[in-house]
Amino acid sequence: MASFLFVKTEPKHVIFPMEMRTFVTPLSILIKMNDNITIAIDGVSGSGKSTMARTLAKKYGFLYVDSGAMYRAVTYYAIQHHYLSDGELLKNVLSADLNKIDISFAKDGHTILNGQDVEKEIRSMDVAAGVSLVAAVPEVRMAMVMLQRAISAHNSVVMDGRDIGTVVFPNANVKLFVTSDPKVRAQRRLDELKAKGTEVDFESVLKNIVERDRIDSTREVSPLTKADDAIELDNSYMSIEEQNAILDKIISETLAKKTSK
Ligand code: DC
């Protein structure tokens, strides 16, 4: 005899066959059925990962962790202390200082470096130009990964970065890998900078993006790679609404599959 799952919807009741259960269990219920959920979002610079992660965290009531902001904060520290200038980084000196670098996030999501709100400073072109060098230092990465795991120990989190699904949380419940055409990304970044009153030209933004892609994906330690079990999403020509709908579908289906195992 066929069994049925009774799902209450407004304004009337609908009966779904039992075989469809995994596809109709609402996301809010799937989330409650899992203890601490980790959503790992990796991908290229400027692909909109952070906005995506922030939106998901807000929607599900999870903690949002911007791991890129942490590498940016270390870079800003290196610039402030003259450990980084003209593309030259004093790696050993910076590594020896790691225990003096305290990074946290304020309630509004702003990045705090040694008690100072550095959200604006870490988004500057100077920091963008130096961060790949800093993020390639093994000691820096080790310290950041430890911090990322500690921040997430007792919370459901959405974390975005480059190595979240591969290194930080290899057992994440949901892994996404976001890509986007470099020119589309450069235009988005240019618009953001212009809106903030920063005057830069398209070519230099594009150059910075292409260079960061190259360094991020060819560095020796934790290069940007898609985890085998990550779901790839190319959002070059997707509206925010389309992207949100696809994300909801991916997350529901992935959690439903894991919950039913
Ligand atoms: O996501 P973003 O552009 O703010 O990241 C800044 C830099 O930090 C980027 O060049 C790559 C690096 N990064 C990393 O190596 N690992 C992470 N988990 C996050 C960022």
**How do residues 165-194 score in pLDDT, each as one tens digit?**
999 999 999 999 999 999 999 999 899 888
- 250 C-alpha to ligand 1 centroid (Å): 24
Mean pLDDT over residues 105-127, rounded? 93
Phi, psi of 187 (to 5 degrees): -65, -40
Mean pLDDT over residues 148-158, rounded? 90
Q: Tell which of 128, 154, 180 closes a domain.
A: 154
Residue 68 CB–ligand 1 contact under 6 Å:
yes
Dihedral in degrees, nearest 10, Cα atoms 77, 80, 85, 91 = -40
Residue 135 CB–ligand 1 contact under 6 Å:
yes
Whether 199 has a pLDDT exceeding 80, the answer reads yes
Domain CATH for 131: 3.40.50.300
Q: How far, in Å, CA of 141 to CA of 149, rounded? A: 12
> What is the pTM assigned to this prediction?
0.83
Angle, in degrees to the nearest 10, between helices 202-218 and 182-195: 120
Q: Which domain holds residue 75?
A: 67-154
Average pLDDT, the chain: 86
Residues 132 and 235 reside in one and the same domain: no
Residues 57 and 164 reside in one and the same domain: yes
Give the pLDDT of residue 77: 98
Give the pLDDT of residue 75: 98
Q: How far, in Å, CA of 259 to CA of 261, rounded? A: 6
Residues 167 and 232 reside in one and the same domain: yes
Report which protein residue has its CA nearest ligand 1's atom 3: 45
Q: Tell which of 133, 154, 175 closes a domain.
A: 154
Residue 167 CB–ligand 1 contact under 6 Å:
no
Give the pLDDT of residue 17: 45
Query: Taking CA 240 as the corner, what is the angle to CA 237 and CA 243, rounded to the nearest 5 degrees?
Result: 75
Distances (CA, A) of 167 to 47, 154, 175, 255: 20, 19, 12, 21
Residues 76 and 147 reside in one and the same domain: yes
Residues 53 and 71 reside in one and the same domain: no
Nearest atom (ligand 1) to Cα of 164: 18
Residue 71 CB–ligand 1 contact under 6 Å:
yes
Per-residue pLDDT of 67-87, as tens digits, reads 999 999 999 999 999 999 999
Give the pLDDT of residue 260: 63
Residues 160 and 43 reside in one and the same domain: yes
Residue 47 CB–ligand 1 contact under 6 Å:
no
Report which protein residue has its CA nearest ligand 1's atom 20: 68
